[in-house]
Amino acid sequence: MKKIVMCTIFAAFIMTSLLSMQKVSAASNYDTYVALGDSVASGAGLGSNLNATCDRSSSAYPSVLAAKLGTSVTNLACSGAKVDEGIYGNQKRGSSIIAPQLNAAFAGGTPDLITLTIGANDVRWANYLRDCYVFECGSALDKARAVVYRADLRYELAKALTIIQQRSGSTPPTVLVNGYYSPFSRTACSATDKITLKERLWVNEQKGYLNNSLRSVTRSFSFAKYVPVDFGSHKVCSLDTWLQGPNASAPFHPNVAGQQSIADANYRALSR
């Protein structure tokens, strides 16, 4: 009996130690953290208390992740950003011209950690949703356009990661390239009364193709890691959805719970 108790205590000790080591590992060597990306990374719809022009919110996942890591973050993400118009090129936002996010990211030297959420605007994701709700989506032409947009995204993302590598010299930062969540389930509700099940499934399919493009490019860069983002059962029609509704100021963008989930996914990626 004593042996069983001692073994149980020892096992608990080992598990606690491993969890502690995991937390230390995730928080190590990330004194300078910079977040790049689009409206998902900026926290659109959650209060523009950091930067109104770019819809930056302190509730966005970069701030949540920084707190988990015990560090601070410079969030440069901006609504509407694409890879070539936002990440490594100028972005026009209203009457403002915003300098490339990478310029600001490396202004003080090479950061230790970069998170990157980009690609949805490159493949015209907002257009998909608009067409699905206002007209219809999923035609042969829609599919053909999506193929072209994804090919361009792969080229642009590879260019952006190459720029990061070149600016970093022999010590590139850890770069976490975030995937995107699928917004719809098969369940219908008032939020989906203008979009058919077939269209919802098509949108989710396109999200999968987008993520595959991001993943395939990331694999070519040893310092970068693809981070899958999955909202599971918390999609649009869930009673506990992690998304803002279709009538919100930032439709289908993560709410506070969704941003927490993305932060958790990035933290797990750093812990592995």
Q: Which tens digit of pLDDT belongs to each residue from 180-213?
A: 999 999 999 999 999 999 999 999 999 999 999 9
Say if residue 8's pLDDT is above 60: no
Q: What secondary structure letter does DSSP report for 195?
A: S
Same domain, residue pair 24 and 85? no
pLDDT of 43-83, one tens digit each?
Answer: 999 999 999 999 999 999 999 999 999 999 999 999 999 99
Looking at the chain, the whole-number percentage of residues with pLDDT higher than 90 is 85
The counts of H helices and E strands in the chain are 8, 7
Same domain, residue pair 112 and 4? no
Same domain, residue pair 14 and 114? no
Same domain, residue pair 211 and 82? yes
Q: Cα(3)–Cα(242) distance, rounded to whole angstroms?
A: 47
Query: Any idea of the CA torsion for 102, 108, 113, 114, to the nearest 10 degrees?
Result: -10
Compute and round to an integer the Cα radius of gyration of the chain. Answer: 20
CB atoms within 10 A of CB 27: 15
Same domain, residue pair 100 and 11? no
Mean of the per-residue pLDDT values for the chain? 91
Burial class (CB in 10 A: 0-12, 13-18, 19+), 51: middle
CB atoms within 10 A of CB 5: 9
Q: Cα(24)–Cα(111) distance, rounded to whole angstroms?
A: 19
Same domain, residue pair 135 and 169? yes
Confirm if 49 and 245 have CB atoms less than 8 A apart.
Answer: no
Same domain, residue pair 134 and 98? yes
Beta strand 91-93 with 33-37 is unpaired
Q: Provide the pLDDT for residue 25.
A: 52
Same domain, residue pair 149 and 18? no
Lowest average pLDDT, out of 11-20, 87-96, 210-219, 242-251, goes to 11-20
Confidence grade of residue 155 (pLDDT, cut at 50, 70, 90): very high
Same domain, residue pair 41 and 19? no
Same domain, residue pair 100 and 65? yes
Same domain, residue pair 25 and 138? no
**What residues contact 156, with CB distance under 8 A and at least 6 apart?**
82, 83, 84, 122
Provide the domain count of the chain.
2
Q: Provide the pLDDT for residue 26.
A: 57
CB atoms within 10 A of CB 259: 24
Domain that includes residue 26, residue range: 1-30
Q: Cα(257)–Cα(249) distance, rounded to whole angstroms?
A: 17
Amino acid at 49: N
Amino acid at 53: T
Same domain, residue pair 22 and 57? no
What value, to the nearest 5°, has the Cα angle with vertex 221 and ends 218 and 226?
A: 30
Q: What secondary structure letter does DSSP report for 190?
A: G
Q: Cα(2)–Cα(157) distance, rounded to whole angstroms?
A: 59
pLDDT of 15-26, one tens digit each?
Answer: 444 444 444 455
Q: Look up the CATH number of the domain holding residue 145.
A: 3.40.50.1110
